[in-house]
Structure 1
């Protein structure tokens, strides 16, 4: 993950201080505003009190002036002017406005009393009414003055409270400012020292990286997020065959073996998403000479100062030789497995051959030994001639058995016999000529349908296979109808399938299926069979990669199916 940057740390560290300073600024604004309002109210109250005193004194002088002098218009105008000014000062105070209206009407009444010089009212009564009006005016003015004095007292208390708050605010602000300045100084000094230490460590790290990068025993490169080579060391040039300038003119995608790109893209995407810090995997590059080079690639992501992905650092280790050795080792292991399986097969075959030899030779040898012993004890020439004839027959049987066993052994051991392109129709015709007499006697008909006309197989063995299977179809035919033999071939997934089908007496596979291709196994008596032909046929096929199976029903016929590998 990208590291937390210095600016982010600074912002996180001073965020509470910034919030506190903003709170102090807001509180200061409110304090100044309230102080200004209290000051305005106090000033207004002082003006109102001053005007009220002025109206009171002018009214007293005016009344006194009217009693001694009939010229009263000048003082009246001054009172009206003061009264109008006072009305402007209290225009936002309904109660005070109401009182001023009452005061104005009272002054108007006093004016009307003073100006009524022609009235017949007695002098004493007139002066009594003037005194009453004067008393009302005095009381109203005093009420004004009292109310404003109370407001002034409240304003003074509020101003005192705001001054106290302002002093506290100044003290707090000063303390916070001093603490902030000290913190900034300490933080700056520590940051400067940390940066200096970091710069020294960075320089040391850069020197180390330079030597590690350029003197490394493996390929190292700096690659952009888009895949462009930004910087490479000399070892990469040795691995890929390109010079540094040639590589930096390309992207890694251009020289990557394309089947490896999905894995490459997936691993790089996981690093970019932050799922892993480093990824390591095997991939192939094209060498400048066109050959494929196996490398073990390690990719790490380097971040910018702002936390965004910057570039990749890639390490390439040439593992082509290791891959080659692993491939050769795997091939040798497979070869050893095949050899081991082949040896197991050979041992099994030799054990089987040993049992066959022991079984097939023991009887004739014991017979000959016994007859030789009897020949020694024979008294007449007729007995000796008869024993000699019997010894001769046993010797021929022993010789035939030995020839059969030698033929089987030769097939098993002869793997290097050359393969031929065998014409199936030609082999069929040759076999028919060899069995011409038997075919005529059995009135047999051979039909063919070779969709694959030729096969690759040792010709001498294929001719032997055809001879054995066709002669069996003739031998085990039904006596009451002509023999029909149908031979066909068709392609089958890299193989050729040969089919030999007849309408003979058939075989009970439920009874004889397990012994079908074993040596000296005879399934029909009275046909002069030795049980060797099918055994030899199976060995000939399996020795050269083929196989054989049988399908048969008694009284219906038999089908032999042969599979030959074709390359």
Structure 2
């Protein structure tokens, strides 16, 4: 038979252990509440905070006492009060709140963004909530949106400028063509003069065709839905060289070509003309004063991806100093007056708009190599 006094002592011991365990759990919960870097709080259905952790108090700059004495709405940014009140009513009806974002105003007047997850306990008329400070994310989003707005405006301005320039230039070019039509070439006896006039006439027609393409592309917004077709590199190069033949001859530029590894590519004729024209013109423009310009143009295939390699023996540039500026709009790498910082920007833009990419290597007084990779 068990002794009654012994049983009573064992029961008291169990109760004591249970009480100690509860106190330890409460202590650990309190430590978690106080040490958490996230915002933790308990709010009442009456719209007042009942308990806040130090992270909440530190973020807003109010003491715990100040936060508990005033309605929650006093701390919420004016434009967010209405939606917050609506969602608070839903929480009271046992509808959890997940990742709700609103703004609070700190004691200093700063605005902070918080992302909330909340649940209610109807028996106690309490709402338990945890929030993360996402102010830095919102600032990054705002900066990104401002950059996108600036980029859209810049793109619109560039489009307008290109359209205006191309449109306005067509009139004087048309007048030059009209003057050629009035000339009677049969009366010109000097063969060299006749040859130059015919060459000039051909270049003028080519200029008009190029201007028409620019205007049409911008007017019809072909940049978004550009026509892609199978193009022959040699044919495009010949067409471009014909349009700047006098520049090539005058500069005594030597153009070395090897398209044996890839003779054709699926691309835009309009864009590829522009790429060849800009890269060849740049090689001539930035030629070294002590040697004739040599431009090497060749193709190759890397993992079934066609690449076009442009190399020259020009003055080159310092890659470290030029970092971040090589393909930038209005970013010139040299002090020449005719440098406008548009050519390489267009080359990169044309290539990337159709899924390609461009890399560059250059050494001062040694030359520059551009590697253009077309989309598979």
TM-score by length of 1: 0.29
Q: TM-score, normalised by structure 2?
A: 0.43
Report which of the two has the higher share of helix.
1
Determine which structure has more spread, i.e. the larger CA radius of gyration: 1
